[in-house]
Amino acid sequence: MVLVLDTAIAAAAVLAGRGPGLLGLLAAGPLLACARCGGRATALVAVYAGALCVIAGARPMMTGMALIVGVVAVFVSVIRGRREGALIRINDRVQRAILRPLPAEFGGVAFASHYQSATKQALVGGDLYDVAMTQYGPRFIIGDVKGKGLDAVGRCAAVLAVFRELAVAEPDLVNLATEMDARISKDLEIEDFVTVILADFAPGEVRIVNCGHHPPVKASTAPADLQLMAPGQAVPPLGLHPRPVRQDIALEPGDRLLFYTDGLVESRDHQGRFFDLCQQAIAEALAEPDLDVAIRQVVRLLLEHAGGRLHDDVLLVLGQPAAVEPAPGSGHLPGSISRR
């Protein structure tokens, strides 16, 4: 685009017979290029602008000025590229600190997770998750804070810090959500909020408290089937003074729960249709024996729906209680865990 602009300027200068006046605008090409392009591309534009000056019969002084501007533009482009690279590396480390990889198995629960950024040079989003081992069993959180960028980073870090502090001491999920809201609300602006799901995995069930977050999906593997675990009543997000309610979800052997952020269900195709989470293809994907393969299949279906391009970050977490192996002869042997 910049090369076309310079070509048009040079052609207009020759045709109008106003070389000195219009040819001076050729210096704008390298300056525009340095704002978005790398050093090599900017250098190409600078050389091209200088060549057009010579071809169009510009004065030597004007040609020299164009080359000087080009050198400055290349220098600016290189410095900008280095700074952007440093920011991207910092962003990557921050994102990894917030979205720490979940263990393949934790407290008798098998996990698989996937984070898909909407941009190649990933901006830090507002998605968060974590798992903590408590005396009440493994306790999980997934959430989404309002906004993006550094403000969202601060809120994510604050939510996770409060969760890690309170999760190990508070036996009741409802009280945990209430205490987290009280702590977090002090640092939020009036219009800020955090949607979260808190979950306790127990034998044969998962107990959750949902504060304004998209409900999880229970996936049965034999036969492949899905059920949206919508709460009985809507509860506002943290920061909006919710009155949490506990929801108990029974799990049969082989059942799994898919937790996710809004980037999954709010993704649109070229016709503006939202992604259908409860379609049979998703049920079959989540029935894959390997949890990691199941997550990757869901991501593949999402990208196919969105035409390969996402408009919001997506966080997926798939959890399945590990099978309890029966003791030889009869019954179950408590505490004997094996991952399927």
252 touches 220 (CB < 8 A): yes
Query: Which pTM value belongs to this model?
Result: 0.73
* Positions of the chain with pLDDT lower than 50, given as ranges: 18, 324-340
* CA–CA dist 340, 338 (Å, integer): 6
Q: Determine the 3-state secondary structure of 48 from DSSP.
A: helix
158 touches 126 (CB < 8 A): no
Amino acid code (one letter) for 103? P
Side by side, the strands of the sheet bearing 127-134 are 127-134, 137-145, 194-202, 205-211, 246-250
Identify the pLDDT of residue 94.
Answer: 67
Task: Show the DSSP H helices in 99-209 as ranges.
Answer: 149-166, 173-185
* Chain-centroid distance, C-alpha 66: 43
Identify the pLDDT of residue 285.
Answer: 94
Identify the pLDDT of residue 330.
Answer: 38
Identify the pLDDT of residue 333.
Answer: 31
**Which run of H or of E encompasses 316?**
strand 314-321
- Terminal Cα distance for the chain, rounded: 55
**Would you tell me the crossing angle of helices 39-55 and 2-16 to the nearest 10 degrees?**
10
Identify the pLDDT of residue 57.
Answer: 64
Q: Which residues of 296-321 are buried (b: 16+ CB within 10 A; e: fewer)?
A: bbbbebbeebbeeebebbbbbbbbbb
Query: Of the candidates 215, 219, 218, 220, which has an alpha carbon nearest to the alpha carbon of residue 232?
Result: 215
Task: Show the DSSP H helices in 169-236 as ranges.
Answer: 173-185
